[in-house]
Amino acid sequence: MNFGRVLTAMVTPFTEEGEINYDEAARLADYLVTHGSDGLVVCGTTGESPTLSWQEEYELFRVVREAVGGRAKVIAGTGSNSTREAIEATKKAAQLGLDGSLQVVPYYNKPSQAGLYEHFKAIAQASDLPIMLYNIPGRTGVSLQPETVAKLAELETIVAIKEASGLMDVVSEIRRLTPLHFSIYSGDDSLTLPILSLGGRGVVSVASHLVGPQLQELIQSYAKGQHEQALAYHLRLLPLFKVLFIETNPVPIKAALAMQGWQVGQVRSPLAPLQANSLQTLRQVLQEMGLLEEAQGSKPAAAKAS
């Protein structure tokens, strides 16, 4: 399974009343696919999955799948810290015709490596949907070790990992222990280039909401051996990569999209809107990078009408 190079971890738009804005989700999905995204990850961390009900998630899967047709891969965030729940949700995503499943390391209950292996194995055996593992110890409290990843990679439907530990030695070990057809994706925009240099395939990105084509150029340049050009893209985009994590993701990216005119609403509690000083810093970076000028032109209007 080839998910592509740039996968956008898509935000979940809300109305002013805090309900999901499915129409805006469809418009945003279409815009992303026409602006650099090979695939969309729906209901991941950036999509505020902890505060969505399963029924809301299933409807989002359906809406986004319909919006992009066969033009991009749609990957469902169906992970859970309950193996039974993850299996049920993954089966539902398969029934809805999605292209893959993002399976986060179970959070809060801190399973052992043996427990993690059995958890992911059970999900893999319950469905034919290709699986991307998701290692993000800063949020889950436990890390999926490279040896466990290698063992899981032997299973036919486990085809990739989103690596968000931030540790390049972990990425190196995963690459050393897994076959080359097993894809490693950066879970942090700022680490895309380093992970490409360690045999990574691409990125599950937040910044691609705003700079999808530039991220594609970065990755394609590296793939073609144009390493200096890839580095130039990386350095140019670095201020954006950093400011989008000035507070907890997805608070800054939703604020940025709102500045561009997207009707994405606020984040759901317990997350809080971006603080005033952070908002000012974010606006300054977006202005310096020319990303708010587009909001005054035809691009967002075209996106809204699409």
The residues annotated as belonging to the active site are: 134, 162
Alpha helices by DSSP H, listed for 96-245, are 113-126, 137-140, 146-152, 168-177, 192-197, 208-223, 227-243
- Tell me how far apart the 2 most distant CA atoms of the chain are, in Å: 54
Decide if 272 contacts 250 (C-beta within 8 A). no
Which contacts (CB < 8 Å, 24+ apart) does range 234-239 have?
234/192, 234/193, 237/189, 237/207, 237/211, 238/190, 239/285, 239/288, 239/289
Q: How far is Cα 158 from Cα 125, in angstroms, rounded to an integer? A: 10
Q: Beta partners for 74?
A: 40
Q: How far is Cα 25 from Cα 77, in angstroms, rounded to an integer? A: 15
Which contacts (CB < 8 Å, 24+ apart) does range 269-273 have?
269/51, 271/48, 271/51
What is the CA 218 to chain-centroid distance, rounded? 17
Q: How far is Cα 212 from Cα 189, in angstroms, rounded to an integer? A: 11
Q: How far is Cα 58 from Cα 97, in angstroms, rounded to an integer? A: 11
Q: How far is Cα 241 from Cα 159, in angstroms, rounded to an integer? A: 27
Decide if 48 contacts 267 (C-beta within 8 A). yes
Decide if 131 contacts 158 (C-beta within 8 A). yes
102, two tokens: 């993002």
DSSP, res 14: B
Tell me how many helices (H) and strands (E) the chain has: 13, 8
